[in-house]
Structures are given as C-alpha cells and as structure tokens.
Amino acid sequence: MNGKPCASSDRAFSWESIDWNRANAYLHYRYMLVSIRRQSYPRYPTIEQRKALAKLDRYSQEARLLVRNKIQTREKLIDYQVDLDERIHAFHKERWYLKRDLQKGPSESERQVIDQKISEINRQLKPLYRERSLCKDIAERCGSVTATVNREKETARYQIEKERGDDLSTTQQRQ
C-alpha cells in the first residue's frame, strides 16, 4: 500500500468515541433488513398458470353441473339446455312486464317494490346464464372429443390391420 490513510483526518476518530449501543442497534437493524429480504415470499402465478387454473375451475364447474343434474348423454344435455332456455325466457318475460309497469309511472312505494322484484329476477338469472354458458361449452367440447376419439379409433384400427396384414404376409411366406 502507499501509506495514505483511508479517510481524511477530519473524519478519522478513535474507537473510544463510538457509542457501541447505537452501533449494535444499527448492525442488528441491518441484519434484520437483510434477513427479511432473503425470506422467500410466495410468487404470484404466471399468466399461463392463471389461465390453466381458470380452465381447471371451468372444467370442475362443468363436472359439478353434469353430476348435479345427472346428465350422462348428449341428448340429456340438450334437453337440459332447452329446459334452461325456457326458464330464462320465463324470467325475461316477467322482467319485461315489470319494466313496462315501471314506465306507467307508479307511486314511489310501488316503484321500490317493482325495482326489488326486478333485482330479484336478475339475481336468479345470473346462475342460469352461467349454467347455459357451461352447457354450450360442454356441447362444443363433446363434439371435438367425439371426433378425437373416432380419429384415434381409426388410427388404432388401421395399425391393427397393418400388423395383421404384416403377420399374414410373413406367415404365408414361411409356408
């Protein structure tokens, strides 16, 4: 080293002038900051993970719908959709009549009662809309699943025929 002091003379101090209680508190504070920084906080899921979770949640809702209504075939699903559309239509019709009554200029108390009925109908419609959406998704995926299964069956049948044909040709050559 070149013999120069690390700090200028006005900043240099003696070890006796240090307040060790404050120094210990400062060091402890610094230690705690570093240890807090090192803690591993749970990471937020990535966009792909959130999409996958939403998809799984949707599938579980669809499965609950199928089990709750004992739907096992495509025909039962279509029947349930028709019944659901009829119930939604009935609620829409009732709400339309209530809104028409609102336009007639009822008194304030009647208006409040009608508004409450309309909000109750809207509250009852919300799960029906959700179920209708789930049924549409199930019906769409049912067609694609059926097509995939049929495609897989065809490829398996083709491979079996190919193997049998190869086996027959090798057996015939041996004779």
Which are the contacts of 139, defined by CB distance < 8 A and separation ≥ 6? 74, 77, 78, 81
- Banded model confidence at residue 39, pLDDT cuts 50, 70, 90: low
Whether the pLDDT of residue 35 is over 80: the answer is: no
What is the predicted pLDDT for the residue at 5? 42
12-34 residues labelled b (16+ CB within 10 A) or e (exposed)? eeeeeeeeeeeeeeeeeeeeeee
pLDDT digits 0-9 by tens, 92-122:
999 999 999 988 888 888 999 999 999 999 9
pLDDT digits 0-9 by tens, 141-150:
887 777 777 8
* 3-class secondary structure, 9: coil
- Residue 103's CB: how many other CB atoms inside 10 A? 7
Asked if 88 and 132 count as a contact pair (C-beta separation under 8 A), the reply is: yes
Q: Which range among 4-18, 23-37, 38-52, 78-92 shows the weakest confidence by mean pLDDT? A: 4-18
- Banded model confidence at residue 13, pLDDT cuts 50, 70, 90: low
Cα(63)–Cα(68) distance, integer angstroms: 8
